[in-house]
């Protein structure tokens, strides 16, 4: 049996040595198993000869068991490789990928992650949070909680004890309103890029620099009410920051806030940036309204043309029927036949007259509906805008 057992031990040792390396290639491990399967097949044929054992079945059973034994090790290597890959992705790449870590933890959407962090801040004195499981329990007397003390909540689709916590949950709505009502004091924001687990090529040139940034809320009231955050920022040397970098700095980077009683005046470029970005939002709204108007007009014109085409087709068919009956009436011999055809002609002419009246009424109806559409467009274009400064800060990147 030494001749039979030795190949199994050799394959075990080979795969264990390969699997012990953190950067092991799973495809290479499985390839080694297949090569080893072929290597041991020939000696087993002679070893099992005359013993009633099918070497191929025995080999398959043994290697299936071997793969089962290595399954946990392979899964660990794959999970570790995936984690290292994700950690070295640029943050801009993260934003463009939908990564699912079903074997380990659920990947939260950006909105859920923001809700989680806001809730931690607002409910810090009245709830205990478990970041690893994304669950928390209310434990204090907080007026805004909207839930009983000792209520459990979980965030995300993975499940957990208690109620599912989502943006439209009453507690979440109270938390968001409380956060919106919080006044932001003046101070300095120190962004710690080195402590951020991600990377962003556009932020790296800002290391060691400082400057200004501001955020305002733009409210557009019209057919629908829209709220937008307008951001602007610059370095002390006058380099203008783009909106996406400011968003990433404020919402993702680790940050330390240092209060200051100084009243900062926004730099000229930052003010211009707010105006420019505010106008960009308004121009985008105007473009969407123009696109909607073109869509509605095109849809209306197609409907009106369908109405006219159907009526014209009916009129054309009636005209053809009248001409045909008149032609046949002239050649009819007997008076009863002529009389019958004349009555048929009179009936068709009455229907044709009614069709013409319907055509005229349809044309007037089209005009009325078009006037209504233009009135709705005019109302939609009538908007009111209001701006509210949320905060203006000094910043530095370390």
Q: For the chain, which residues make up each domain, given as ranges? A: 2-88, 110-181, 189-286+386-397, 288-381
**What are the strands of the beta sheet with 210-221, ordered from one edge?**
240-241, 226-235, 210-221, 384-397, 187-191, 255-259
Cβ neighbours of 217 (radius 10 Å)? 14
| Contact by Cβ (8 Å): 258, 190 | yes
pLDDT digits (tens, 9 = 90+) for 370-388: 888 888 877 777 788 899 8
Rounded Cα gap, residues 304 and 286, in angstroms: 26
pLDDT score recorded for residue 144:
54
Cβ neighbourhood burial of 248 (10 Å; 0-12, 13-18, 19+): buried
Count how many Cα atoms sit within 13 Å of the Cα of residue 307 in the half-sphere of its side chain: 18
Q: What is the pLDDT of residue 263?
A: 54
Task: Report the predicted TM-score, pTM, of the whole model to 2 decimal places.
Answer: 0.56
Judged against a pLDDT cut of 60, whether residue 307 lies above it is answered with yes
Strands of the chain, DSSP E? 127-130, 135-138, 152-155, 163-165, 187-191, 210-221, 226-235, 240-241, 255-259, 384-397
Query: Are the C-beta atoms of residues 37 and 62 closer than 8 Å to each other?
Result: no
Cα–Cα distance measured from residue 355 to residue 350, given in angstroms and rounded to the nearest whole number: 9
Q: Give dist(CA 33, CA 26) in Å, integer.
A: 11
Asked if pLDDT for residue 83 goes beyond 90, the answer is no
Mean pLDDT computed over every residue of the chain: 75
Residue 386 makes CB contacts below 8 A (sequence gap 6+) with 218, 219, 221
Q: Are 241 and 213 in contact (CB under 8 A)?
A: yes
Q: What is the mean pLDDT of residues 76-95?
A: 65
- H-helix or E-strand containing 156? none
Identify the band that residue 104 occupies on the pLDDT scale cut at 50, 70 and 90: very low
Nearest to 308 by CA among 253, 366, 261: 366
Determine the pLDDT at residue 207: 93
The sign one gets for the Cα dihedral 330, 335, 339, 344 is negative
Which of residues 379 and 17 earns the better pLDDT score? Answer: 379
Query: Around Cβ 341, how many Cβ atoms within 10 Å?
Result: 18
Q: Which residues touch 135 (CB under 8 Å, ≥6 apart)?
A: 129, 152, 153, 154, 155, 160, 161, 162
What is the arithmetic mean of pLDDT over 270-291? 88
Of 10-19, 22-31, 188-197, 212-221, minimum mean pLDDT range:
10-19
When pLDDT is cut at 50, 70 and 90, the band that residue 18 belongs to is: very low
Neighbours of 156 (CB within 10 A): 20
The pLDDT score that the predictor gives to residue 95 is 57
Dist CA 225 CA 37 (whole Å): 69
Distance CA 193, CA 247 (A): 14
How confident is the model at residue 245, as a pLDDT? Answer: 92
Pick from 38-42, 52-56, 228-232 the range whose average pLDDT is largest: 228-232
Q: Is the pLDDT of residue 344 over 80?
A: no
Most confident of 223-227, 240-244, 367-371: 240-244
Longest dimension (CA), the chain: 119
Q: Is 140 helix (H, G, I), strand (E, B) or coil?
A: coil
**All residues at 6 or more sequence positions from 225 whose CB lies less than 8 Å from its CB, including other chains:** 219
Query: Side-chain half-sphere of 358: how many Cα atoms within 13 Å?
Result: 15
Q: How many contiguous H segments (helices) and E segments (strands) does the chain have?
A: 9, 10
Q: What is the rounded CA–CA span in Å between residue 375 and residue 361?
A: 21
| Least confident piece of the model among 62-71, 78-87, 294-303, 305-314 | 78-87
Residues 206 and 212: their CA atoms lie apart, in Å, by 12
Instruction: Report helix angle 2-19 to 26-47, nearest 10.
Output: 180
Contact between 229 and 391 under an 8 Å Cβ cutoff? The reply is no
Split at pLDDT 50, 70, 90, the class of 49 is low
Nearest CA among 92, 63, 135 for reference residue 244: 92
């Amino acid at each position: 049996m030494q001749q039979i057992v030795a190949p199994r031990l050799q394959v075990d040792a080979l795969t264990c040595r390969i699997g012990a390396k953190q950067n092991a290639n799973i495809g290479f491990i499985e390839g080694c198993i297949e090569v080893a399967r072929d290597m041991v097949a020939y000696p087993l044929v002679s070893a099992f000869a005359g013993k009633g054992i099918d070497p191929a079945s025995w080999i398959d059973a043994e290697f299936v068991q071997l793969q089962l034994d290595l399954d946990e090790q392979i899964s660990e290597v794959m999970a570790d490789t995936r984690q290292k890959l994700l950690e070295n992705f640029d943050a801009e790449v993260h934003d463009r990928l939908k990564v699912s870590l079903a074997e380990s933890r659920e990947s939260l959407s950006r909105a859920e992650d923001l809700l989680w962090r806001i809730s931690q801040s607002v409910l810090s004195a009245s709830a205990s949070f478990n970041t690893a499981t994304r669950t928390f329990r209310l434990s204090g007397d907080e007026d805004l909680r909207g839930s009983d003390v000792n209520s459990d909540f979980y965030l995300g689709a993975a499940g957990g004890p208690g109620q599912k916590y989502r943006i439209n949950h009453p507690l979440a709505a109270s938390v968001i309103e409380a956060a919106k009502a919080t006044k932001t004091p003046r101070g300095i924001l120190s962004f710690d890029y080195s402590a951020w687990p991600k990377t962003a090529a556009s932020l790296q040139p800002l290391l060691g620099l400082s400057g200004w940034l501001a955020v305002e809320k733009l409210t557009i009231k019209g057919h629908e009410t829209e709220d937008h955050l307008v951001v602007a920022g610059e370095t002390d040397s006058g380099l203008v920051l783009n909106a996406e970098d400011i968003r990433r700095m404020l919402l993702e980077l680790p940050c330390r806030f240092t209060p200051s009683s100084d009243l900062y005046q926004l730099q000229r470029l930052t003010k211009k940036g707010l105006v420019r970005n505010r106008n960009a939002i308004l121009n985008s709204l105007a473009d969407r309204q123009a696109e909607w108007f073109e869509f509605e007009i095109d849809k209306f014109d197609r409907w009106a043309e369908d109405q006219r085409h159907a009526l014209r087709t009916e009129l054309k068919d009636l005209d053809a029927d009248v001409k045909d009956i008149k032609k046949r009436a002239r050649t009819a011999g007997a008076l009863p036949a002529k009389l019958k055809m004349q009555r048929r002609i009179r009936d068709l002419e009455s229907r044709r007259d009614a069709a013409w009246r319907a055509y005229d009424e349809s044309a007037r109806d089209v005009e009325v509906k078009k006037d209504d559409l233009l009135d709705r467009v005019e109302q939609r274009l009538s908007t009111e805008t209001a701006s509210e400064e949320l905060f203006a800060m000094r910043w530095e990147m370390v």
